[in-house]
């Protein structure tokens, strides 16, 4: 049999084509008999093609015909004579490996839904002959039969024509329903840029192809979004979504400057996950300065900053690493023995910062922020402003010493959300 295939491929192809035509007519009869009533099972149809770039395509054409006979005889699949009418396209190819060949079969649905992956099987054979490929035919046929079983037939249109005899043409659609149960107003971001919103019924449905996967993203204001991937079986899928609320409050502790000033902070998100307002208290007993008006007593004073800010985070609320910005105002007080007053340096100041936040899980996050400040300087008459600025961060004066611009400083800290 192998010798005949190699030396007379044209004759063999003609004989096999006649057999294939007869099987095709029987297959069409089988399809009609199984789909006469709604709810019957319809077999999948297969069109077999050959990769012309493979070595010895003439032998592959013969193998493709025998593969079709194997599928007709030992599986529930039927052959289609036209690619446009087939449910599944099977491509047969081969690659040379030293003195042998890797025989490869790839099956893919002609119009897949979602992210359905092709079925691929390969086996090594000594030669591209019928006898050598029998094991490949048997195993590949089993896998195709398992991957593409018959499906319920849905008759959507019946057209009757009369030429010599009455003929019924059936159009079969194979599908299953995906049902998503979610709070009203949930935004569904679907493949190919499509979007849908769950209505007041709390339910969204779509008919999809069986044995396929479907990916989508669900977003609900004030809650963590979800990326979902579901597999659509013959009975369909019902997805009930539950969302985790985003933090409304976040509390943290910053470490600022080289002297490790600890600054407690609180932030309230009026748009969860995005816009917030906050406040904090900054003070340090390590950043001491001698008071110019109590020089004889060498009185030392420390500062107390009361800070208010607003800001926003950018990007997706569920991203582990996010960036943002802050703007704020602060007032500063000096405190010492028998002394409590508005400070000469920064009694009023404006702040701006850029921050990066890293989600550590379970409500915790780490934060780093680069911050600049423009501070008002009120030096009393006869007092050198440089005396007041000795313990302050690096910067430069503006407007003849009336303002002082602090160079960017890096703050680090942590946050815990509620």
Q: Which of 141-150, 296-305, 346-355, 365-374 has the lowest mean pLDDT?
A: 296-305
Render pLDDT for 171-225 as a digit per residue (tens, 0 to 9): 555 689 999 999 999 999 999 889 999 999 999 999 998 888 999 999 998 999 9
Q: What number is the average pLDDT over the span 320-333? A: 95
pLDDT confidence band for 20 (50 / 70 / 90): low
**What pLDDT does 325 receive?**
97
**What pLDDT does 152 receive?**
74
pLDDT confidence band for 168 (50 / 70 / 90): low
Pull the structure tokens for residue 115. 């992210």
Q: Are 140 and 67 in contact, with CB atoms under 8 Å apart? A: yes
Whether pLDDT at 1 is above 50 = no
Handedness of CA 11, 14, 18, 23 (dihedral sign): positive
Whether pLDDT at 389 is above 80 = no
* C-alpha distances out from residue 255 to 60, 258, 259, 262, Å: 72, 9, 9, 5
Handedness of CA 197, 203, 207, 210 (dihedral sign): positive
Render pLDDT for 64-82 as a digit per residue (tens, 0 to 9): 988 988 888 889 898 888 8
CA distance 204 to 227: 16
Whether pLDDT at 129 is above 80 = yes
Angle at CA of residue 93, ends 91 and 99, nearest 5°: 165
- Domain 176-240 classification at class level: mainly beta
CATH 2.40.37.10 fits 249-417, yes or no: no
Q: Which fold has domain 2-152?
A: Double Stranded RNA Binding Domain (3.30.160)
Whether pLDDT at 37 is above 50 = no
Residue ranges covered by each domain of the chain: 2-152, 176-240, 249-417
Give which of 283, 284, 324, 282 is closest to 307, Cα–Cα. Answer: 282
Q: What number is the average pLDDT over the span 101-129? A: 83
**Interstrand relation of 176-181 and 237-240 (parallel, antiparallel or unpaired):** parallel
CA distance 119 to 367: 47
Whether pLDDT at 318 is above 50 = yes
Whether pLDDT at 390 is above 50 = yes
Percentage, residues of the chain above pLDDT 70: 78
pLDDT confidence band for 354 (50 / 70 / 90): very high
Q: Are 278 and 266 in contact, with CB atoms under 8 Å apart? A: yes
Q: Which residue has the higher pLDDT, 316 or 8?
A: 316
For 22, phi then psi, to 5°, come to -65, -45
Q: What number is the average pLDDT over the span 382-401? A: 75
Other Cβ atoms within 10 Å of 332 Cβ, number: 21
pTM comes to: 0.54
Whether pLDDT at 12 is above 70 = no
Mean residue pLDDT of the chain comes to: 82
């Amino acid at each position: 049999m192998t010798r005949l295939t190699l030396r007379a491929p044209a004759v063999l192809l003609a004989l096999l084509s006649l057999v294939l035509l007869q099987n095709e007519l029987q297959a069409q009869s089988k399809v009609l008999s199984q789909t006469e009533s709604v709810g019957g099972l319809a077999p999948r149809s297969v069109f077999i093609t050959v990769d012309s770039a493979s070595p010895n395509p003439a032998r592959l054409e013969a193998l493709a015909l025998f593969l079709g006979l194997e599928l007709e005889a030992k599986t529930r699949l039927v052959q289609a004579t036209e690619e446009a009418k087939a449910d599944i396209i099977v491509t047969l190819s081969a690659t040379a490996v030293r003195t042998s060949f890797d025989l490869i079969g790839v099956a893919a649905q002609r119009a897949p839904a979602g992210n359905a992956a092709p079925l691929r099987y390969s086996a090594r054979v000594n030669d591209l002959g019928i006898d050598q490929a029998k094991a490949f035919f048997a195993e590949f046929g089993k896998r195709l039969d398992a991957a593409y079983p018959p499906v319920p037939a849905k008759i959507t249109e019946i057209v009757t024509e009369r030429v010599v005899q009455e003929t019924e043409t059936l159009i079969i659609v194979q599908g299953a329903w995906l049902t998503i149960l979610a709070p009203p107003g949930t935004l569904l971001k679907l493949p190919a840029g499509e979007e849908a919103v769950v209505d007041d019924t709390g339910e969204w449905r779509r008919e999809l192809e069986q044995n396929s996967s479907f990916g989508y993203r669900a977003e609900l204001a004030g809650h963590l979004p979800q990326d979902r991937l579901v597999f659509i079986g013959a009975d369909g899928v019902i997805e009930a979504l539950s969302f985790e609320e985003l933090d409304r409050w976040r509390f943290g502790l910053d470490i600022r400057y080289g002297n490790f000033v600890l600054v407690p902070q609180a932030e309230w998100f009026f748009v969860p996950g995005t816009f917030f307002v906050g406040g904090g208290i900054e003070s340090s007993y390590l950043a001491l300065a001698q008071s110019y008006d109590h020089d004889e007593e060498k009185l030392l004073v420390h500062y107390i900053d009361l800070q208010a800010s607003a800001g926003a985070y950018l990007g997706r609320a569920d991203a582990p690493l996010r960036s943002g910005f802050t703007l704020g105002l602060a007032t500063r007080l000096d405190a010492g023995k028998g002394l409590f007053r508005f400070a000469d340096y920064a009694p009023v100041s404006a702040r701006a910062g850029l921050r990066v936040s890293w989600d550590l899980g379970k409500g915790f996050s780490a934060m780093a922020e680069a911050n600049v400040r423009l501070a008002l300087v009120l030096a009393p008459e006869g007092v050198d402003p440089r005396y007041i600025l000795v313990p302050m961060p690096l910067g430069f004066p503006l407007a003849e010493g009336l303002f002082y611009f602090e160079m960017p400083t890096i703050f680090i800290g942590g946050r815990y959300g509620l």
